[in-house]
């Protein structure tokens, strides 16, 4: 038995790691998986960077930021496996959502209109809206900024973005510290359930196949333990399949609900797994089939184009100075080569390429794969832009940076 310690945050998208441990997928590959619950992303990052744990359930942009030296001690991090796609929701208190379309399904269906409605109301609030984000370097912060800016809102000037760990968002909404927040399941759902907030936008409708959590290692440790990594990724693949199977949702929700994992009611967690979004307390649920994805469409495959998209946004917001070296460092965080090596002999559908145009697929499409049939779902950004990873600078130049 090899022991791997992995740090995670209490979120529904820690499911693949939890299932790998609790359903014995890790054990049957000879891995004893110890899960270390952590409250803040800063602590999770430090535990990984300084070797207290070997693996971490990490925000993809945080892994990129650490590799670029933007977040504390710079370290070479590698992400050979994605743990999920999507799962985030932007919610606001009723006061701050009052300017938005009161018809909730149509509000959620049209993020562009919602952003413009919010922009036109900003002057009417008596102060800058305070919106909670889980970390400066999170997919949440990047998609929120993208959404705000689409309506001409400067996220650094017109609103206050306050960093709070996901599990504190509900309490901060109750105490009036924040007017809304964007976080992963089940925290927005829990805040809605308690009548504190209502849904404003879904991560899955801002970018239909948004990159979310990855499994991150220190590059050095990953290279030194190649055989273990291969077995670990095989175990996680089985776990991800199990998590995506509708037959297992109730059991998975019950597992995640335990106090040592997410510690929230199983019913709320299960709803998220089913892709049901209740946009306001006691409103009818809306079906969002791609609300949170664990396995289908090669979820786990770390497309290099996706780290480059993250890089493009860090540059866009002035968090990193554009350079060839930085672009390469960002691109090398995702490791499709390790994924291919580890799972090459398995029955996992293996994409033929390691980069793709992001945002170009509007209906499910079959793509080139070495083995198995691979269908990619629609991956549009709500503003219809397409990200070409070969032309990052042009893409960045295409945004009006509002300042």
Partner 1 sequence: MRIVIVDDSGLRASVLEEGLREAGYDDIHLVPPRGAFVAQIERMAPDVVLMDLGSPSRDMLEEMLLVSRALAKPIAMFVDRSDEAMIGAAIDAGVSAYVVDGLRKDRVKPILDLAVRRFNAFARMAAELNEARTALADRKTIDKAKAILMTNRGMSEPDAYALLRSTAMNQGLRIVEVAEALITASSLLGDQA
Positions that interact with partner 1 (CB under 8 A): 38-43, 46-47, 50-52, 72-73, 134-136, 162-165, 167-168, 177
Q: Are 62 and 214 in contact (CB under 8 A)?
A: no
Q: How far is the CB of 110 from partner 1 (least distance, A)?
A: 31
Q: How far is the CB of 75 from partner 1 (least distance, A)?
A: 10
Taking Cα atoms as reference points, which of 297, 283, 318, 313 lies closest to residue 199? 283
Sign of CA dihedral 269, 270, 276, 279: negative
Alpha helical stretches, state H, 209-350: 219-224, 226-244, 249-257, 266-274, 304-316, 324-331, 336-343
Q: How far is the CB of 322 from partner 1 (least distance, A)?
A: 18
Q: How far is the CB of 74 from partner 1 (least distance, A)?
A: 8
Q: How far is the CB of 164 from partner 1 (least distance, A)?
A: 6
Burial 330-344 (b: 16+ CB within 10 A, else e): bbbbbbbebbbebbe
Cβ nearer to partner 1, comparing 318 with 344: 318
**104 contact partners, CB below 8 Å, separation of at least 6:** 198, 199, 279, 280, 283, 286
- Report long-range pairs for 338-341 (Cβ below 8 Å, ≥24 apart): 338/78, 338/80, 338/222, 338/229, 338/233, 339/80, 339/81, 339/233, 339/300, 339/301, 339/302, 341/226, 341/230
Q: How far is the CB of 326 from partner 1 (least distance, A)?
A: 18
**314 contact partners, CB below 8 Å, separation of at least 6:** 61, 64, 65, 68, 70, 137, 320, 330
> In what helix (H) or strand (E) does residue 162 lie, and over which residues does it extend?
strand 160-163
Q: How far is the CB of 38 from partner 1 (least distance, A)?
A: 8
Q: How far is the CB of 248 from partner 1 (least distance, A)?
A: 30
Beta bridge pairs of residue 287: 276
Q: How far is the CB of 44 from partner 1 (least distance, A)?
A: 10
Q: How far is the CB of 202 from partner 1 (least distance, A)?
A: 24
Rounded to 5°, the CA angle 219-82-78 comes to: 10
Q: In this structure, how many other beta carbons lie within 10 angstroms of the beta carbon of residue 394?
A: 9
Cβ nearer to partner 1, comparing 53 with 266: 53
Q: Are 151 and 115 in contact (CB under 8 A)?
A: yes
Cβ nearer to partner 1, comparing 175 with 282: 175
Pairing of strands 2-8, 55-59: parallel
Q: In this structure, how many other beta carbons lie within 10 angstroms of the beta carbon of residue 391?
A: 11
Q: What span, in angstroms and rounded, lies between the C-alpha atoms of 33 and 5?
A: 6
Taking Cα atoms as reference points, which of 202, 214, 181, 192 lies closest to residue 59? 214
**303 contact partners, CB below 8 Å, separation of at least 6:** 211, 334, 336, 351, 354, 355, 356, 358
Cβ nearer to partner 1, comparing 51 with 372: 51
Cβ nearer to partner 1, comparing 135 with 356: 135
């Amino acid at each position: 038995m090899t022991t791997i310690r992995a740090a995670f945050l209490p979120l529904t998208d820690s499911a693949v790691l939890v299932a790998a441990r609790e359903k014995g997928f890790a054990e049957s590959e000879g891995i004893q998986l110890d899960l270390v619950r952590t409250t803040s992303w800063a602590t999770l990052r430090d535990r990984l960077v300084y070797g207290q744990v070997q693996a971490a359930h990490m925000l993809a942009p945080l892994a990129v930021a650490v590799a670029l030296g933007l977040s504390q001690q710079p370290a070479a991090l590698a992400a050979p496996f994605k743990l999920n796609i999507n799962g985030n929701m932007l919610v606001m208190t009723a006061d701050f959502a009052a300017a938005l379309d009161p018809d909730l399904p149509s509000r959620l269906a049209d993020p562009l209109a919602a952003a413009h409605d919010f922009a036109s109301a900003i002057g009417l609030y008596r102060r800058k809206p305070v919106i909670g984000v889980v970390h400066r370097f999170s997919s949440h912060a990047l998609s929120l900024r993208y959404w705000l800016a689409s309506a001409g809102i400067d996220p650094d000037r017109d609103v206050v973005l306050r960093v709070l760990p996901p599990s504190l968002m509900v309490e901060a909404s109750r105490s009036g510290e924040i007017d809304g927040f964007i976080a992963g399941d089940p925290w927005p759902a829990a805040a809605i359930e308690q009548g504190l907030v209502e849904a404003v936008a879904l991560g899955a409708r801002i970018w239909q196949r948004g990159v979310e959590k990855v499994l991150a290692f220190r590059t050095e440790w990953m290279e030194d333990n190649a055989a273990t990594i291969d077995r670990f990724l095989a175990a996680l693949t089985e776990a991800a399949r199990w998590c995506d199977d509708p037959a297992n949702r109730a059991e998975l929700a019950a597992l995640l609900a335990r106090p040592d994992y997410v510690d929230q009611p199983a019913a709320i967690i299960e709803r998220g797994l089913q892709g049901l979004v209740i946009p306001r307390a006691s409103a009818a649920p809306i079906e969002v089939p791609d609300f949170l994805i664990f396995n289908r469409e090669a979820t786990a495959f770390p497309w290099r184009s996706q780290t480059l998209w993250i890089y493009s946004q860090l540059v866009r917001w002035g968090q990193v100075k554009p350079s060839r070296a930085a672009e390469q460092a960002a691109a090398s965080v995702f490791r499709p080569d390790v994924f291919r090596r580890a799972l090459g002999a398995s029955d996992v559908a293996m994409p033929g390429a390691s980069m793709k145009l992001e945002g170009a697929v509007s209906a499910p499409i079959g793509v080139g794969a070495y083995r198995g049939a691979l269908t990619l779902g629609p991956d549009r950004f709500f503003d219809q832009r397409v990200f070409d990873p070969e032309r990052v600078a042009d893409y960045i130049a295409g945004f009006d940076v509002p300042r």
